[in-house]
């Protein structure tokens, strides 16, 4: 199972887009943890936050991750899988332990300015919906989570880079581990 790849990072860091490309390149399955949660709950992330609250979302997230950790190595395609996580998955100790158990943890970073630009106009991020301006909220989120994001095998700054270049960086790193 250690050959699987897990992408962590804040909202807007490119986990889902890069994850899909990576899985295609590595010829394996791609799993988006948020999509698993939405499927299981039968409602959108926005709805889960609005109707059940963040704690309920976190519980669904942990449960989905635990299930994935059990089955990740049984996915079709070389026994490995690429997983894009939600930005807050790193908040719980138990989740971080499971991410490590699943595979290589790649943390994607970007500057606050870049993230704010990428997320402007997105209305599917409930954590940015409150009274507080999104840039302030995001800044707080980044500083609260920095030490958890740092718990990764590699950190890659995506600021100002093309997806293709970030992809090449991840693949180069992955190949050094799994020659």
Instruction: Give the rounded distance of the alpha carbon of 24 from its chain centre.
Output: 17
The strand ranges marked E within the chain are 4-8, 29-32, 81-84, 103-109, 154-157
Distance CA 102, CA 124 (A): 27
Q: Quote the least distance from Cβ 132 to ligand S3P, whole Å.
A: 14
Number of residues lying near ligand S3P (CB under 6 A): 11
Tokens representing 74 are 């049984």
Question: Which residues make Cβ contacts (< 8 Å) with residue 52, sequence separation at least 6?
Answer: none
Using CB under 6 A as the binding rule, whether residue 154 contacts ligand S3P is answered as: no
Please identify which residue in the block is written with the tokens 């100002």. 160
Distance CA 136, CA 106 (A): 25
**Shorter beta-carbon distance to ligand S3P: residue 11 or 110:** 11
**Shorter beta-carbon distance to ligand S3P: residue 2 or 50:** 50
Using CB under 6 A as the binding rule, whether residue 3 contacts ligand S3P is answered as: no
**Residue from 14, 19, 86, 134 in contact with ligand S3P (CB under 6 A):** 86
Contact set for ligand S3P, span 110-149 (CB under 6 A): 125-127
Which range, of 80-88, 93-101, 150-158, 163-171, touches ligand S3P by CB under 6 A?
80-88
**What phi and psi values does residue 44 have, to the nearest 5 degrees?**
-70, 165
SS3 87: coil
Q: Are 114 and 84 in contact (CB under 8 A)?
A: no
Distance CA 28, CA 15 (A): 16
Using CB under 6 A as the binding rule, whether residue 88 contacts ligand S3P is answered as: yes
Which range, of 69-77, 81-89, 104-112, 131-139, touches ligand S3P by CB under 6 A?
81-89
> Between 35 and 74, how does the x/- string for binding to ligand S3P read (CB under 6 A)?
----------x-----------------------------
Using CB under 6 A as the binding rule, whether residue 14 contacts ligand S3P is answered as: no
The residues binding ligand S3P (CB under 6 A) are: 11, 15-16, 34, 45, 86-88, 125-127
């Amino acid at each position: 199972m250690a050959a699987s790849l897990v992408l962590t990072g804040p909202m807007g860091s490119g986990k889902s887009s890069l994850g899909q490309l990576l899985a295609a390149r590595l010829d394996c399955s791609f799993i988006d943890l948020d999509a698993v949660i939405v499927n299981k709950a039968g409602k959108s992330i926005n709805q889960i936050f609005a109707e059940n609250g963040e704690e309920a979302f976190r519980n669904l997230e942990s449960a989905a991750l635990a299930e994935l950790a059990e089955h990740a190595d049984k996915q079709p395609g070389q026994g490995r899988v690429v997983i894009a996580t939600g930005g807050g998955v790193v908040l719980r100790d138990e989740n971080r332990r499971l991410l490590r158990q699943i595979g290589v943890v790649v943390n994607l970073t970007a500057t606050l300015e870049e993230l704010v630009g990428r997320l402007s106009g997105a209305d599917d991020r409930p954590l940015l919906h409150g009274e507080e301006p999104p840039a302030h909220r995001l800044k707080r989120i980044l500083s609260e989570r920095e030490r958890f994001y740092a718990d990764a095998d590699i950190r890659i700054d995506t600021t100002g880079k093309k997806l293709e270049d970030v992809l090449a960086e991840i693949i180069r790193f992955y190949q050094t581990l799994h020659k």
